[in-house]
Copies of this chain bind each other. A is one copy, B any other.
């Protein structure tokens, strides 16, 4: 297909497609004439992947290139592409909130929680430091966050994450497995976060209705 069709199929404007081509995020099409190239289904798929990462995952354009390179690098062990996806999702943060002592204490608590749930993670996992930063922020806002609280959250998320990892590997070709891993890491985070917000609304509404009933007529009667 021509570039105009590629744009129409994916909903990505032609200038944006040209920008991705120039930046090397999208491989060049097959040249069919001067100033004309032919694009195939792999271009459609790659364009959709770029848009999903940037629009839903909030991945910055400069990190998208690294993620795509990891997907395309057949020599990179499957397990390590998780790290690449992680780093794109949790880019470096220049400054830590709070003092060094507060941050070190939080990092110690994160490691204590990881030891309690017996998760093996590398010390340079960006999520480990990102989690410690969030603990510092919560504490500075007056929250008492304990190692046990972190363990409770970890135990809640553990079966979901284990399922997700199992689902990625399934006798598929490597490129497909890696793409699934990256897409799953980014897009299913968004699914979980949205469901959590909807669950908040549900539980908070139920609580408000329960209180309202109690206030208006004492206990709700059977059948009400």
Q: How many Å lie between the Cα of A120 and that of B204 in the bound state? A: 10
Asked if A19 is at the interface of the complex by the 8 Å CB criterion, the answer is no
**Bound complex: CA A48 to CA B206 (Å):** 31
Report the copy number of this chain in the oligomer: 2
A121 to B204, CA, bound (A): 10
The answer on a CB contact under 8 Å between B201 and A154 is no
Do A140 and B58 touch across chains, with their CB atoms under 8 A apart? no
Measured between beta carbons, the chain B residues less than 8 angstroms from A79 are: 204-205, 207-208
**Is there an interface contact between A119 and B190, defined as CB atoms closer than 8 Å?**
no
Which range contains the number of A residues in contact with the other chain? 35 or more
Name the one of B134, B142, B154, B197 contacting A90, with C-beta atoms under 8 angstroms: B197
Bound Cα distance A36, B157 (Å): 50
Partner of A119, one of B168, B192, B202: B202
Beyond A48-B140, A156-B156, 15 additional contacts (C-beta under 8 Å) are A11-B98, A52-B137, A78-B208, A82-B204, A90-B194, A127-B193, A134-B194, A138-B183, A141-B179, A143-B180, A157-B192, A162-B199, A165-B207, A169-B207, A192-B193
A189 at the interface (CB under 8 A from B): yes
Chain A residues within CB distance 8 Å of chain B: 11, 45, 48-49, 51-52, 55-56, 58, 77-79, 82-83, 86, 89-90, 93, 95, 97-98, 114, 119-122, 125-128, 130-131, 133-135, 137-138, 140-143, 150, 153-154, 156-162, 164-166, 168-169, 179-180, 183, 185, 187-208
Give me 23 A-to-B residue pairs in the complex whose CB atoms sit less than 8 angstroms apart, sorted by A's number. A11-B98, A48-B140, A48-B141, A52-B138, A55-B97, A56-B133, A78-B208, A86-B200, A121-B205, A128-B198, A130-B190, A130-B194, A138-B183, A138-B187, A141-B183, A156-B156, A156-B160, A157-B192, A157-B195, A161-B200, A165-B200, A165-B207, A189-B193
